Structure 1
Amino acid sequence: MNKITLPLSIIAIALSLFAIFNPKPSNDQVYVDVNKLLDGYKRTEIVRKDLQEKTTLLKANVDSLVSGWQKELKVYEKERAYMTKKEKELKQELLANKQQQINNYQQAVQKQMQEEDQKATQTVINDINDYVKEYGKTHSHQIIFGAGGNGNIMYAVEGADLTTKVLEGLNAEFEGK
């Protein structure tokens, strides 16, 4: 009986050591909260600030054009009693054309800002996706889910949330460590 106990003990110790020192891929299912990553990522803040500055400048341009048009309209209203029918028609046509041009410019500005917002947001999302992919490879995760608050993940244990770790690494990478 002693002859069998010693080899079994050695095998058990060897298997224990193998299990401890042989890292295996994590089979844990983990996730990140995409909304928290977007909000906490420092590049998002910079991109949003840049877009807000552009939007403010373009809005000021539109407001200036509208203000100028309104002044012309007030002048016309004061002077129309002294105008001939032909002058009134011409001035009304000019004011209508100017108003249409301002409306077209305003729509073009809104479209431009929407496109720039989408492009900037996609750039940030691509950064996050690339980082999460590398994080998953580095930490041997087989899958990392993205929770967006719309029912993708209804429940998860606290330890399955990688959001804070990923956000810290993402911001460190963005800032150049």
Structure 2
Amino acid sequence: MKRLILLSIASLAMISCNKETPSAEKTKTAYVDISKLLKENKEAKDIEDKYKVKSEEMGRELRGEASQFQSEAASFRQNAQLKGPAWAQAKGAELQKREQELGMKQESIIRTLQEESGKENDSLVTRIKEYIKEYGKKNGYDYIYGTGDMSATVLYAKDGYDITGILIKELNDNYKGPQTTKKEEEKK
């Protein structure tokens, strides 16, 4: 009985060793330069352009307020000696408060722009990752690695494995551009 059990275990071990495992030669791999993909992606460029314009618009208003503040500060310096220390102290406190408010407004604008653009960029990265996953399944890849400035998971790869250009082309071909309304187009 012991021999039968030992013989069964030995034959199971031999059978399991004979199972064919995928070899490196049969494995289909590729890599994507994530930094290059995001740099050349039309949607990423549109998001960047959108927030540059938004930043300029919001900054323009803030620059106007800052300019007005600077002229009032210059006027304050000229009138401080003429109107006396009590006036100078009161006006100085008022100007200091406005300067703090301008600083907080600037920080708020920067934070708002970073949050909004961050959400859109995160959403874009999620969609790109999903696209790469589907691309890999559709084209029979076993692995697709990511490389670039932000994530270096490939230490070496032959150029022939780089599918970044293919993905850039497909993503850009599938991108429909910002959805603008007729009113927005007429304004342009």
Query: Structure 2: which amino acid aligns with 1:103?
Result: G
Q: Residues 6-45 of structure 1: CA distance to partner in whole angstroms, max 9, x if unpaired?
A: xxxxxxxxxxxxxxxxxxxx72121111111101111011
- The runs of at least 4 aligned residues of structure 1 exceeding 6 Å deviation read none
More displaced 10-residue stretch of structure 1: 31-40 or 120-129: 120-129
1:16 aligns with: none
Q: Secondary structure at the match of 2:157?
A: coil
More displaced 10-residue stretch of structure 1: 149-158 or 101-110: 149-158
CA RMSD after TM alignment: 1.7
Q: Secondary structure at the match of 2:146?
A: strand
Query: Structure 2: which amino acid aligns with 1:163?
Result: T
1:37-52 mapped onto 2 (5 Å cutoff): 37-52=37-52
Q: Following the alignment from structure 2 to structure 1, what is the Cα–Cα distance between the partners of residues 60 and 100? A: 18
1:97 aligns with: 97
**Identity among equivalent pairs (%):** 25
Q: Where does structure 2 lack aligned partners over 5 or more consecutive residues?
A: 1-25, 178-188
Normalising by structure 1, what TM-score? 0.79
1:28 aligns with: 28
Aligned length: 151
1:40-119 mapped onto 2 (5 Å cutoff): 40-119=40-119
Query: Structure 2: which amino acid aligns with 1:72?
Result: E
Q: Where does structure 1 lack aligned partners over 5 or more consecutive residues?
A: 1-25
Query: Structure 1: which amino acid aligns with 2:86?
Result: K
Query: Structure 1: which amino acid aligns with 2:116?
Result: E
1:175 aligns with 2:181: no
Query: Structure 1: which amino acid aligns with 2:109?
Result: V
Q: Following the alignment from structure 1 to structure 2, what is the Cα–Cα distance between the partners of residues 136 and 93? A: 63
Q: Residues 136-162 of structure 1: CA distance to partner in whole angstroms, max 9, x if unpaired?
A: 111111221111245421211122111
Offset at residue 117 of structure 1 (A): 2.5
Query: Structure 2: which amino acid aligns with 1:168?
Result: K
Query: Structure 1: which amino acid aligns with 2:63?
Result: D
2:142 aligns with: 142
Query: Structure 2: which amino acid aligns with 1:159?
Result: G
1:14 aligns with: none
Q: Secondary structure at the match of 2:127?
A: helix
Normalising by structure 2, what TM-score? 0.74
1:165 aligns with 2:166: yes
